[in-house]
Each structure stands twice: as C-alpha cells, then as structure tokens.
Amino acid sequence: MTETPLKTMAGHRNLKAGHFVLEFDTPGIGHILKTAGCDFAVFDTEHSGFGIETTKRVLRYMQAAELPTIVRVPSTDYKDIARACDAGAEGVMLPMVSTPEEAEAIVQAMKYVPRGGRGVIVRCAYDRFTSGPTVEKLAFQNQRTTLFAQIETADGVKNADAIAAIDGVDCLWVGHFDLSCSLGIPAQFDHPDFLAAIDTVLEACARHGKSAGRLVPDVDSGITLFKQGFDFIAYNADAWALSDAVAAGLTAIRSGTKQGAAP
C-alpha cells in the first residue's frame, strides 16, 4: 500500500473518494476502508462524541492502513485544532467557517512559525515519534497539514471568495444540511437559493485553485456533484452504510422467501 498525502490530493481536481467515520472506532476500521478503495477518511468528532483519546487511537489505525485522515473537530477553538494536529491528523475540518478572519485564525492554530503560532511539540504522533532537526520537523508539518473549511452558513457563502483566497485553506467543504438551514430552506437542496449558494462556493474554489468537498448519501449524488465541480466526495458514513446494507439484504431475503419480518 502507498499513501498519497492529502495536500497532494488537494492540489488537483481529480476525484478523491472517501468515507465518514462517526460510530465505529474498531482497530480494523482503517484497513476496512482502505481495502474498500477509500482515498481518505473523515473522522468526525463534531457529532459523534469521540474524544481526544479515541481520536489518537483511531489515527494510529489509519496510519497502519496508510489511509490519509481528516479529523472534523467540534469547534474552531485553538485547543481543538492543535490537539487534533498533535494527535496526528493530516487534515482538519472545521465547522461553520464564516469569515476570512476565522479562516486565518484556524491557519494560525494549525501551522508552526513562520506561518502560524501553534505550540511546538516534536517526536509525537504527527512525525511518528521519530527524531530529527526541529526546524525541519516544523517545516514538514506546515507543509503536511491540510485545512478543510466548512461552508455551512449564509455568511460563509458571502465570504467564500475571501476564505478561499487565504494561503493555508485547501478545500471549501459544503455542509449542506446546515447551509440549507442557515438560508432558511431546511433540506431544500433544489431550492434556487441553495443552488445559487453552491455556485458561489464552486466559483470561489475555481478562482483560487482550491478543492471543493461534499458528503453524499448515494452513488448518483456523488457522480452528479463531481461533474458539478466537487472533487472531494465522501460517500456515506459508517453507521448509515451498515444499516442500509443490512436492511437491503434482509429485505431481499424476505422477499425471496416470501417471509415478512418476525413479529
């Protein structure tokens, strides 16, 4: 197995296909997703309840499988961002990024000097506990860390161009449910206002050479959104994929045997 860094992936517009992890922190999760063909994984600590100890452990599973992993942190606080990076997160996804000032503060928290002000630690998870010159390690980490800024508010859309213009922002990731709610049209993804917002985000990404990302619930949506301009596509999440697969299998068995569900 070989690993393509997230930073390299974000540098081109070819398809990057991955998966969300929000329920299963099993030791096999990295190899399962790698074997399934994932280019990357998103480990969600915003909505899952996973804490930093679980994050550290799962990132080692992902390292063993050579699967680049984005950690979605619960807030834009420095401690959440820096701890995820120290734990070995190659990418960090931040919720509700709405202004260029917020995006710049995130970059400052992720990067070491001279680009940022992150507190220094070496010989830890991100460099796989290896020794070496500190200055080289800081430069390596600055080059490696990849920022996925979630655009999921009306202000985020309004400021998408300014956010995408910031050096250190690698991808604008649309949080489609929250964005639709912020626009006052919950889950109305075909509404003209939502479609206009998506166009604005994609135009900003194209103008500044940045990637665009989405979570998709099904294959058709993934294909359609890639053609529209999204190049990071996360297909489904672990709990939902398992539930849907089991439900489909059981339904097919019951249909084939003409047996209904057990009372």
pLDDT higher than threshold 80 for residue 3: no
**How many helices and strands in the chain, by DSSP H and E?**
12, 8
What's the pLDDT tens digit per position in 181-206? 999 999 999 999 999 999 999 999 99
Which is more confident, 2 or 78?
Answer: 78
- List own/partner pairs for 130-135 with CB under 8 A and 24 or more apart: none
Element holding 206 (H helix, E strand)? helix 192-208
> Mean pLDDT over residues 202-214, rounded?
98
What's the pLDDT tens digit per position in 77-101? 999 999 999 999 999 999 999 999 9
Please say if 47 is a catalytic residue: yes
* Other Cβ atoms within 10 Å of 141 Cβ, number: 20
Domain edges within the chain: 6-238
Active-site position among 31, 47, 176, 191: 47
Its pTM stands at 0.93
66 contacts: CB under 8 Å, gap ≥ 6: 1, 2, 3, 34
Check residue 180 and give its pLDDT: 98
User: Which residue do the tokens 């959104």 mark?
Assistant: 225
pLDDT higher than threshold 90 for residue 117: yes
Please answer whether residues 4 and 222 qualify as being in contact, where contact means their C-beta atoms are separated by less than 8 angstroms. no
- pLDDT band at residue 262 using 50, 70 and 90 as cut-offs: low
In the structure encoding, which two tokens stand for residue 38, read together? 């994932």
In the structure encoding, which two tokens stand for residue 56, read together? 């550290």
- pLDDT band at residue 236 using 50, 70 and 90 as cut-offs: very high
Architecture of the 6-238 domain? Alpha-Beta Barrel (3.20)
What's the pLDDT tens digit per position in 50-60? 999 999 999 99
* Torsions phi, psi for 81 (to 5 deg): -70, -50
End-to-end CA distance of the chain: 47
The 10 Å CB-count burial string (b at 16+, else e) for 10-25 is beebeebbbbbbbbeb
Would you say the C-alpha torsion 108, 110, 116, 117 has a positive or negative sign? Answer: positive
Alpha-carbon span 46 to 97, nearest angstrom: 14
Eight-state DSSP code of residue 114: T
The 10 Å CB-count burial string (b at 16+, else e) for 189-215 is eeeeebeebbebbbebbeebebbbbbb
Alpha-carbon span 70 to 251, nearest angstrom: 34
Check residue 1 and give its pLDDT: 42
92 contacts: CB under 8 Å, gap ≥ 6: 70, 71, 72, 73, 81, 84, 85, 106, 110, 145, 146, 147, 148
Which segments of 26-158 are extended strands (E)?
40-44, 69-72, 91-94, 146-151
pLDDT higher than threshold 80 for residue 32: yes
